[in-house]
Amino acid sequence: MSGKLIPASGVAVIDEGHHALCLHIEDIVRHWKLGSEDGVMETLVQAFRTAAMRHFEEEIQLLTEAGAATDRHCRAHRDLIDEIDTQLTETRHHSGRNRWFALVDTLERILYEHEIEEDSRYYGLLSAPSAP
Ligand SMILES: [Fe+2]
Ligand SMILES: [Fe+2]
């Protein structure tokens, strides 16, 4: 996976947020492949969660400033965080080599389905020139 896969919005704070999430996931996948300890994996996932929360807040603020209705998108962000939390809890109850698989898969899906496909619908709005 590469940060280059995420189309640029042209808005620095959004693009930097997406790139940061990409780097977090690359790190998580690398450690998962290396078989890093559970404590390391959990710390990395928590760091992704924190970065995602920050990015979501910045994104909603910009969308609000651009005049977009954000209820649906806010709910989508909340659902993603809830999904991470649910998966993290389930992971703590499992053991074995594939313990982290579902969570890593979920994080990658969040990046592809939300950050790439869902967010890009708003790019036109974010880059639109502001009214005089
Ligand atoms: Fe985003
Ligand atoms: Fe979003």
How many angstroms separate the alpha carbon of residue 115 from the centre of ligand 1?
Answer: 4
Give CA separation, 15 vs 77, 100, 123, in Å: 17, 28, 11
* Nearest partner of 25 among 6, 3, 56, judged by Cα: 3
* Residues shown for the chain: 132
**What pLDDT sits at residue 123?**
86
How many angstroms separate the alpha carbon of residue 73 from the centre of ligand 2?
Answer: 6
**What pLDDT sits at residue 61?**
95
How many angstroms separate the alpha carbon of residue 91 from the centre of ligand 2?
Answer: 25
d(CA 77, CA 73) in angstroms, rounded, equals 6
Strand, helix or coil at 23? helix
pLDDT along the chain (132 residues), means of 10: 69 93 94 93 96 96 92 95 93 83 89 86 74 48
Per-chain residues with Cβ under 5 A from ion ligand 2:
59, 119
